[in-house]
Structure 1
Amino acid sequence: MRILHTADWHFGRLLEGRDRRTEQEAFVEELCQIATEKQVDLVLIAGDIYDSVNPPAWAEELFYHALERLSDEGRRGVVVIAGNHDQPERVRAASPLATKHGIVLLGLPKETPFISEAHASIDKVRIMKAGQAWLEMAIPGVEHHAVILALPYPSEARLKELISESLSQEQMQEAFSERIKGLFDDLEGHFRDDTVNLVTSHLFAMGGSESDSERPIQIGGTHTVSLHAFPKKADYVALGHLHRLQKLSDSPLIRYSGSPLAYSFSEAGQSKAVVLIEIVPGEEKKEEIIYLQSGRPLARWKATQGIAQVEEWLAEGKDANAWIDLEIHVTDTIDPAEFQRIRKLSDQFVKVQRVRIALETEQVTEQEKREELGPVQLFCNFYERKRGTTPDDTVIQLFSRLMSVEEKESEGGRDE
């Protein structure tokens, strides 16, 4: 059985106000081509289909278009679980219709997959058995059935359980991890030696590497799940939530596929991919990382030689297809009109910031005069270096009031 693992599509997400719809549509096209060319039997989509609980209509349309293409008219299995960004009921709403096409949609933990009694053709995907958070799927042309333990984002609210009342942070983390382990322990009995045994969930597994584009699903690590929580009999554990492609364990094989697009500049330089795993019960697994080409890369430019260097890079065609976070180093303030001209040099610029670098002579002079300047003047100098312009009267007055409050509090502390 050939399984394709993907997650964290985040349809509807912007990059600093820039629409990614075209890139997301291109990803769907590329994913469907991969599924066809690699003769994929089953697709696992491990949560965060949308970027919000109320996605735009086009994002929902794109999701259903992807499902229709991937299912190949019911000849390929597709299993989708909700992530922390998704509204569970929205994800599973189309289940009665989707199941007829070999598509399983699960919104909440401990949910029982919908089974269509009318859908029993041997040349189409069939759900043979199902219960809370698990199912057994038969796929045409594949000798072995897949048993899938599917756990959508398992927050305490969605589990409808209070796990961590009156506990320390460390105890809460341990209690949550043990609860997830308990769920999988109860479900592991459905695995058999003659089936392809799979787990999919959307959570933060211990040892995973985060990026800035993920919305935290835990406070202080309290919802971190130990790798020991996952069933040892699993052939493959397909996870969602972390946006970096990464393998956490070989036995069982635990992976995050990562997001198909880079969603913050903390992911600049990262390659995006999907994971293809081929499994035959009792034989060695075959794994392939398929790198995606559909998303525009993110790049960070630090122009230490000023505006001229930026213009030179653009003329050279550097990072021609990338979204760019630009940092310009200058030795003087930039006129607002000139700053706007720089922003308009390329529509690739998502962020533009100026960093003022003092000359050596200025550094000596500033060090000598620093003690002579009052706090307001020091603040104005700092503001000018960071923003490229002087603060207005409202900002200065606000700073002065804050300084006054701090001085009063300091005097009160000394009196005590």
Structure 2
Amino acid sequence: MSVKFIHFSDSHLGASDSITITHSAREQREKDKYTALKLIVDRIIKEKPDFVIHTGDFFHRASPGNAPLVSAIEQLGRLNTAKIPLYMIAGNHDFPKVTTQQPIHQIFKHLKNIKIFFDEAYSVVDLGNCTLHALPHINSKETFNKELEKITTEGRKSPNILMMHLSMPIAASEEIELGGGVFPAEKLELLGKFDYVALGHWHKFLHLKQYGNVFYSGAPDKMNLSEINHTKGFISVEIEDSGKVNAQFVPLNTREIIEITITDCDKKNEGYILKEISDALKEHEIKDSVIVINLKDLSKASYYATRVEEIEKITAGCLDLRLTRATRADEFFDDDGEVKPIDSLFEDLRRAFSDDELYLRFFDLTNKLLEEIETERAQNVD
């Protein structure tokens, strides 16, 4: 008898994103996470799989607010009522870092068809037609390594399915998620003994074919700029009697996030730049989308040649517009340690001045100050 299940992960209920700027847009992006969960639950109830697995970070924080809790209770309640079992492991985001704080997952204990592993231990569950192996997030590296040693398929009924929330010891483009532990490189051969390995923590859908049927389902919605080009969704899996695994990625219809980059802006006038932006947007639905426009290679003379109000006319109807400007070389570090173009600083300053002449004087003084800081920094290094 074949086994059918759905694998999804990293719902991050309660999170917004690091893409949008306005408060209203950030509120809407948080709601988008709840919408994504509902869409997945709708599909689950329609397909009626044998069970569902979620591989961690269901919540964005270990102490979620009211809105994510309400969304979670509503949607998991629907699965429970439909008598579709859900097996979930805790992730690094939604599991507390201190022992004095109780895991939020306990609130679902009363739901008969919802089982969440949050005890920082390896568990094995016989589901009748398959065996489920669960390794939730573990804070202690020592305990993590100890529990990893227990993972085995020996003496277990096939097919064997393994759930983990961690990174793999390989370079993966755009994946910079930290804090979830790393699977040991010397144990990668173990993964091939499982019929399906369900992973969480990385937000991009990935099939790590070199290790077998090893999959990251990815997050159901976009979280930051590095995920703009990711297609989001979940995985529908069938393991046939023969052992053949059919894993199909199912895309979700999430909010469109559009990124447009215009280069060599110092060689183009405002009209030409606006036309490039307009042409690029013809391929997209502007209404209710999030738009990121990057103007690169600007000179100081052309820095504000392209007016924000003109770009806003082209992007009218979008949920949020994020505009960045970058010169060919200058950068500075902001307070949280991230590299930002220095033009972002000047853009913020520009908005604070209504008098152009006063702004230009301030612009020159700020440039001189930054040059002095850079000179002093270089001298200190020497």
**Residue in 2 that maps onto 1:27:** 36
Residue 287 in 1 paired to residue 250 in 2? no
1:276 Cα shift? 1.2
Residue 211 in 1 paired to residue 183 in 2? no
Distance change (3 Å), C-alpha of 1:70 and 1:225: farther
Distance change (3 Å), C-alpha of 1:38 and 1:383: closer
User: Which structure 2 residues correspond to residues 102-121 of structure 1 after superposition, within 5 A?
Assistant: 102-110=113-121
**Residue in 2 that maps onto 1:153:** 137
Residue 225 in 1 paired to residue 184 in 2? yes
1:96 Cα shift? 3.0
User: Which structure 2 residues correspond to residues 235-250 of structure 1 after superposition, within 5 A?
Assistant: 235-249=195-209
**Residue in 2 that maps onto 1:166:** none
Distance change (3 Å), C-alpha of 1:384 and 1:209: closer
C-alpha distance in structure 1 between counterparts of 2:139 and 2:163, whole Å: 15
1:107 Cα shift? 1.6
Amino acid at match of 1:43: V
**Residue in 2 that maps onto 1:368:** none
C-alpha distance in structure 1 between counterparts of 2:380 and 2:233, whole Å: 56
**Residue in 2 that maps onto 1:39:** 48
Residues 248 and 255, structure 1, Cα contact 8 Å, conserved in 2: yes
RMSD of the TM alignment (CA)? 3.4
C-alpha distance in structure 1 between counterparts of 2:172 and 2:148, whole Å: 21
Amino acid at match of 1:108: D
The number of aligned residues is 330
**Residue in 2 that maps onto 1:352:** 323
**Residue in 2 that maps onto 1:404:** 376
SS in 2 for 1:205: coil
**Residue in 1 that maps onto 2:336:** none
SS in 2 for 1:309: helix
The counterpart of 1:10, out of the listed 6, 9, 12, is 12
User: Which structure 2 residues correspond to residues 172-211 of structure 1 after superposition, within 5 A?
Assistant: 179=146, 181-185=148-152, 188-189=153-154, 191-193=156-158, 196-207=159-170, 209-211=172-174
Distance change (3 Å), C-alpha of 1:252 and 1:91: farther
SS in 2 for 1:150: strand
User: Which structure 2 residues correspond to residues 90-105 of structure 1 after superposition, within 5 A?
Assistant: 90-98=103-111, 100=112, 102-105=113-116
Amino acid at match of 1:338: R
Residues 217 and 233, structure 2, Cα contact 8 Å, conserved in 1: yes
| Farther off after superposition, 252-261 or 280-289 | 280-289
Q: Structure 1 length normalisation: TM-score?
A: 0.68
- Which deviations, in whole Å up to 9, do the C-alpha atoms of 1:107-149 show, x marking residues without a partner? 2321xxxxxxxxxxxxxxxxxxxxx522223xxxxxx433211
Q: Greater Rg, structure 1 or structure 2?
A: 1
Q: Which runs of 5+ in 2 are unaligned?
A: 21-25, 97-101, 264-271, 330-340, 351-359
Residues 326 and 349, structure 1, Cα contact 8 Å, conserved in 2: no
**Residue in 2 that maps onto 1:136:** 126
**Residue in 1 that maps onto 2:77:** 68
The counterpart of 2:277, out of the listed 293, 304, 310, is 310
SS in 2 for 1:29: helix
What is the percent sequence identity of the aligned residues?
18
C-alpha distance in structure 2 between counterparts of 1:72 and 1:51, whole Å: 25
Distance change (3 Å), C-alpha of 1:408 and 1:63: closer
Distance change (3 Å), C-alpha of 1:54 and 1:91: closer
Distance change (3 Å), C-alpha of 1:282 and 1:301: same
1:69 Cα shift? 1.8
Q: Structure 2 length normalisation: TM-score?
A: 0.74
